[in-house]
Amino acid sequence: MRLVFIGAPGAGKGTQAKRLAAEKGYPIVATGDLLRAAIAEQTPLGQQARAYIQRGELVPDPLVNQLVAERIATLESFILDGYPRNLTQAQMLETILPQPLSAVVYFAISEDALIARLGGRRICPQCGAVFHITANPSTAGDRCDHCGATLITREDDQPDTIRKRFSVYREQTAPLVDYYRQRGLLRTVNADAPPDTVYQQLLSVLCEST
């Protein structure tokens, strides 16, 4: 399966991608995670990307396109989480894919639900696990249940940056919903629902795509 997950920040794409990957073995290519890792490692890419991410803006297309092209060149199956984020990237993806996409899953959700979700999100800087202070708290309080590292709020989950990320999503990423609908690839799940329900929906829309 060659899958793209699209949806607003906080719609649950990453959580669902991890669950699907654990069950089916599809590798995840999550551009946000790759960029955050590059920042932590202080690579040239990380140094260039950091200011854009802090402002809630998109990192320039050439940097992200190259990152994705390198990752998916040899993959038969993958889940692309957070890419493409605009039409230029969607067109680029078509040129780098050895085989066409199987489906594009759209995580549809209301903005009110998103603001509540992002404000309470805590991530593990060491293993990448994602928690939520009310919906999915770590049993070890402010420590990661998996590796014990101290949980943090993502730099770009601050209220002003969240607002900026939404406006970037509305202007640049939301048009991809129609783009992929017109190509017959779009499968929609109701991402307002609890994670288990979303996962069941995900499995059923993917069944229709095989």
129 binds ligand AMP (CB under 6 A): no
Ordered DSSP codes for 97-142: -SS--SEEEEEE--HHHHHHHHHTEEE-TTT--EEETTTB--TTTT
Looking at beta carbons only, is 144 or 176 nearer to ligand AMP? 176
Looking at beta carbons only, is 85 or 187 nearer to ligand AMP? 85
Spatial contact of 111 and 166, defined as CB atoms under 8 Å apart:
yes
Long-range own/partner contacts, residues 88-92 (CB < 8 A, 24 or more apart): 88/61, 89/61, 89/64, 89/65, 90/176, 90/179, 90/180, 92/61, 92/65
Looking at beta carbons only, is 17 or 139 nearer to ligand AMP? 17
157 binds ligand AMP (CB under 6 A): no
Say which residues have a Cβ less than 8 Å from residue 132's Cβ, sequence separation at least 6.
117, 120, 121, 122
Looking at beta carbons only, is 151 or 156 nearer to ligand AMP? 156
Q: Binding segment for ligand AMP among 29-37, 120-128, 143-151, 192-200 (CB under 6 A)?
A: 29-37
32 binds ligand AMP (CB under 6 A): yes
CB of 2 to ligand AMP, least distance (A): 16
| Residue among 105, 151, 147 nearest 125 (CA) | 151
58 binds ligand AMP (CB under 6 A): yes
* Total residues binding ligand AMP (CB under 6 A): 17
Q: Tell which positions 65-104 bind ligand AMP, by CB under 6 A.
A: 82-83, 85, 89
Residues that bind ligand AMP (CB under 6 A): 9, 31-32, 35, 52-53, 56-59, 64, 82-83, 85, 89, 156, 165
